[in-house]
Amino acid sequence: MPAIRNANDFNDISISGTQRYQTPPGFNKSQRDIARSILWLVFVAIFVGENVLAAFFSATAIVVLKEGTLFSHKNLKWMLLSVISFCASLFAWQMAKGSEAIDENRAYALKMLLWLMAKSIQMGWSVTLGFFLLLASASESQSQQY
């Protein structure tokens, strides 16, 4: 087994017989920009309560980021936001569906608890995601000024 001389040699390591390919310069940045645009759609969908649509957009962002270098710390950050968005939207959707399924006359407190959990997940994560997206947009525009 040849010794690894520098960090770029990691790209040539094969796992279980498959060859990894080198990504062209700027490819990961373009993938992150696409994922960031998709996460803006996730933000809007979660904010207005379209949890299934938000889960679909989150899954799309995950697939887009998976096409780039997986072990890039910048890609991992956006991948983590996409995965959390996917989980939060599915959880909020399940809580909302559970709330709709419960009879209001028999278990009003449980119905309201599930509804409140769904809304708090929606608002909490949408505000958090929006905060991350705004910070990324602000830092990107600042770096372009200089």
Q: What are the DSSP calls for 33-82, one per residue?
A: HHHHHHHHHHHHHHHHT-HHHHHHHHHHHHHHHHTS-TT-HHHHHHHHHH
- The pTM of the full predicted model, rounded to 2 decimals, is 0.76
* Alpha-carbon distances of 93 from 61, 86, 96, 110, 126, rounded to whole Å: 19, 11, 5, 16, 14
If the chain, 146 residues long, is cut into consecutive pieces of 10 residues, what is the mean pLDDT of each piece?
Answer: 53 51 71 91 94 95 83 84 95 93 89 94 94 89 66
Q: What is the pLDDT of residue 14?
A: 45
Q: What is the pLDDT of residue 2?
A: 55
Q: What is the pLDDT of residue 139?
A: 83
Q: What is the pLDDT of residue 93?
A: 95
Q: What is the pLDDT of residue 5?
A: 54
Segment holding 23, helix H or strand E: none
Q: Cα Rg for the chain, rounded, in angstroms?
A: 20
Instruction: Give residues with Cβ within 8 angstroms of 33, minimum separation 6.
Output: none
Q: What is the pLDDT of residue 70?
A: 66
Q: Number of helices (H) and strands (E), helices first, in the chain? A: 4, 0
